[in-house]
Structures are given as C-alpha cells and as structure tokens.
Structure 1
Amino acid sequence: MDRAQLIALLDHQDDAYQACRAALTGGSPFKIFDGSLPASHFADIYRVREIHTREKGIPTVGFAQAVEALYALGEQPLQVGNVELAEPPYYFQLFFSAETSAVVACIGVDQQHHSRR
C-alpha cells in the first residue's frame, strides 16, 4: 500500500483519523505488518493499554472508540500498522480489515510523556 492509498482509507471524521491523516500528508513514516489476528485478540490487549494510559495521564486520541470497535468486530481477522509523527511526537496504531481495504480503528498516543520520564 502506498501513502496516497492509506490517506484515502483514513476517511472517518473523528480526531484520531484526522490527526493520523495529517501526519501522513506531512510525510510521517508508516508501516503495515503482514499477517492477521482476530479482532478480539487486539481488543483485550488494547483495553489494558487504554486503562494504563488513562491511569498514567498519557494523552491519547480515539483509544476508547477503537477498543469498542475491536470488540464489536469479534473474530474478524485484522492486520495492524502504524504511523509515527516526529513533531510533536505521536504514535498512531492502525487496525485494518484482513485484506487492508479499510481502516477499522485508529488510536493515537502522545509520545512526549515517554520523553519526560
């Protein structure tokens, strides 16, 4: 998948998708990983991560909505990818339909928290 295709897939109007799309438009690097796992696998992991970020006061965007979407997808296979914005440092976790024809969830996590420790 090229950059333009990924930007086109980030067509939702919520904050996480818009911020990720802006990062890609600005040239941020991205990766899409081979292989897939059931959405339920990711839902359990990211529910714990969402709780952790909230408890630590780490700013995020789209986290709760993404976890809900992952649970709703049940056993559907998903692929993952990411986008890393350098300034300000933000990490976007993307979840794709198995054939990568749609982004089904997007999470953004502020990385400045890590550099302040």
Structure 2
Amino acid sequence: MTRDGLAVMLGEQTTACEPARDALIAGGTFMVWDGLVPADRVAHTYRARLRITQKRGQPTLGLGATVDLLFQAGQEPLRIGRIDAADMSWTFMLFLNATATAVLACTGVARSEPPDQPAPEAK
C-alpha cells in the first residue's frame, strides 16, 4: 500500500478521517498489518477503549462512530492500520476491508505524552 493510495481511501467515514489524511500527507508514518480480524471482535476492544478514554478525559476523534461501524460490520474480516502524526501528537487507527482497498472506519486518539519526553516524576 502506498501513502497516496491510503490518503485517497480516507474519505468521510468518520470525523477522524480528514485529520488522519492530513497527518499522512504531512509525513506521518503508517502501516497496515497483514492479518485479518472479525469486525465485531475489534468493536468490543474499541468500545472498551472508548470508555477508558472518556474516563481519563483523553481527546479522541471518531471513536464512538468507529465502534458503531465496527459492530455494524459484524463478522466481516478486516485489516487494521495505523498512522502516527509526524509530531507524534495523534495516533489514528484504521479499519480496512480484507483486501485493503477501502477504509471502513478511522479513529484518532491524542497521545498523552510525546514518546521522546520522559514522564514527570512523582513527588
């Protein structure tokens, strides 16, 4: 999969797709894994992540809509992809069809600490 090909697939599936496309075009890293997973299994995982991020107050984009779309897809086999913004401020998870020719859903989560910054020490 090419960067340009993935950018074209990121339409208006969720509110996270445009920022994910922007991050990709701006030089963010991306990958799409080879394995397939049933959409409803991923839906349960991301429903839990939705609750956790809400509890923490962590900013997300399109997470609720992504969970809904994944449940609607039922047993459909999906590939999972990821885009990390070049500044590492956001990570976007992509859910593509089995042939990786269409994006079903996309969600983004703000990174709480940039990975190159040590966490503040507790006092």
Cα distance, 1:10–1:70 mapped onto 2, change above 3 Å: same
- Structure 1 residue runs of 5 or longer lacking an equivalent are none
Runs ≥4 in structure 1, deviation > 4 angstroms?
A: none
Structure 2 Cα separation of the partners of residues 80 and 44 of structure 1: 15
The alignment of Structure 1 onto Structure 2 pairs a total of residues equal to 116
Structure 2 Cα separation of the partners of residues 88 and 63 of structure 1: 18
Aligned partner of 1:16 in structure 2 is 16
TM-score of the pair, normalised by structure 1: 0.93
TM-score of the pair, normalised by structure 2: 0.89
Cα RMSD for the two superposed structures? 1.5
Letter in 2 for 1:95: F
> Share of identical aligned residues, percent?
35
Deviation of 1:14 (Å): 4.3
Cα distance, 1:13–1:38 mapped onto 2, change above 3 Å: closer
Deviation of 1:86 (Å): 3.3
Deviation of 1:12 (Å): 1.4
Structure 2 Cα separation of the partners of residues 99 and 35 of structure 1: 11
Letter in 2 for 1:54: Q
- Greater C-alpha radius of gyration: 2
Greater fraction of residues in helix: 1
